[in-house]
Structure 1
Amino acid sequence: MPIIHFHLAEGTSSAAQERRLLIAASRLYAEVLQCPMDRVRAFVVPYERARCAVAGVMLDEGGLSAPYFEFLVLEGRPLETRQRLLTGFTDLVADLLGVEKALIRGHCKRVQPEEWCIGGRMAQELRKADIEAFTRRDIA
């Protein structure tokens, strides 16, 4: 389930920066969710500068780079976990891409286990033990 997309305007980061971001974000995701790395997926979604505006100013006309990220977690993950990912991904974007934190936006999308599949099988079945474990941690 751990999937993150970084939405970036082209030319605002180098391929090397994006590579470091994807690797660091994957590690953070696996660490925070306490899940195997093979479950993690991280993507950069590039946009032409002429198709991006920040505060009403087009990036190709001098607008500021303001990355956006979104990530998925199964419903039931504790708020503290989700917030740790939100702040962690923000810190990574700021540190690795050199973007002012105030310009970065992020969103956590919670997905019901019965609405997510892995290899054609429902997550509620495949990740039952995981779901029960983080639900118990949230109650404790």
Structure 2
Amino acid sequence: MPIVNFHLVEGLSTPEQDEALLVGACKLYAEVLKAPTDRIRAFITPHRPGQFAVGGELVSRNGLHAPWFDCIVLDGRSLEDRHRLLAGFTDLLVDCLGVQRELVRGCCRRVPPEDWAIAGVPASVVRKDEVEARARAAAAD
């Protein structure tokens, strides 16, 4: 269920950079969460420079590329894992797109397994054993 969506300014990255970002994001998720890659989704949502403001000014005027990302994990993932994802996605944006680190913003959202569907079935049912194992590990810490 790991999903990340990068909000980028249209035209400020090449197709090759976009590919490196998306492939790198999938690898990062797989590494940090030890998740099979077939469960991972990564997207880029492009925004026109005239519809993206940074510092109170349109990017079409100031030229600043200040990406924002939103990643989702099932509740029960450790704070350490979530922090690794936040840092890793930021690193990918800096390394792949050459953006200024201080302009990158991101968020990691936790979703309760009963509120996440996999093929129309709650993750609390489909991934019951995994969810319970993470809950036991968290309780032991």
1:39 maps to which residue? 39
1:120 maps to which residue? 120
Maintained 8 Å contact 1:54/1:63: no
After superposition, what is the alpha-carbon deviation per residue over 1:33-64, rounded to whole angstroms, capped at 9, x for unaligned? 11110000000000011001100111111241
1:28 maps to which residue? 28
After superposition, what is the alpha-carbon deviation per residue over 1:2-54, rounded to whole angstroms, capped at 9, x for unaligned? 00000001011111100110000001001111111000000000001100110
Q: Distance in 1 between matches of 2:38 and 2:22?
A: 14
Extract unaligned runs of 5+ from structure 2: none
RMSD: 0.9
Whichever residue aligns with residue 104 of structure 2, its letter is: I
Identity %, equivalent residues? 51
Whichever residue aligns with residue 85 of structure 1, its letter is: L
Cα deviation for residue 137 of structure 1 reads 2.7
Maintained 8 Å contact 1:8/1:67: yes
Maintained 8 Å contact 1:57/1:63: no
Please give the TM-score of this superposition, normalised by the length of structure 2. 0.96
1:11 maps to which residue? 11
Q: Distance in 2 between matches of 1:136 and 1:83?
A: 20
Whichever residue aligns with residue 100 of structure 1, its letter is: Q
Q: Distance in 2 between matches of 1:71 and 1:130?
A: 20
Count of residue correspondences: 140
Cα deviation for residue 76 of structure 1 reads 1.1
After superposition, what is the alpha-carbon deviation per residue over 1:96-117, rounded to whole angstroms, capped at 9, x for unaligned? 1001111000000110111111
Cα deviation for residue 136 of structure 1 reads 2.6
1:86 maps to which residue? 86
After superposition, what is the alpha-carbon deviation per residue over 1:77-96, rounded to whole angstroms, capped at 9, x for unaligned? 11001000000000000111
Please give the TM-score of this superposition, normalised by the length of structure 1. 0.96
Runs of 4+ in 1 over 3 A off after TM superposition: none
Extract unaligned runs of 5+ from structure 1: none
Q: Distance in 1 between matches of 2:35 and 2:134?
A: 11
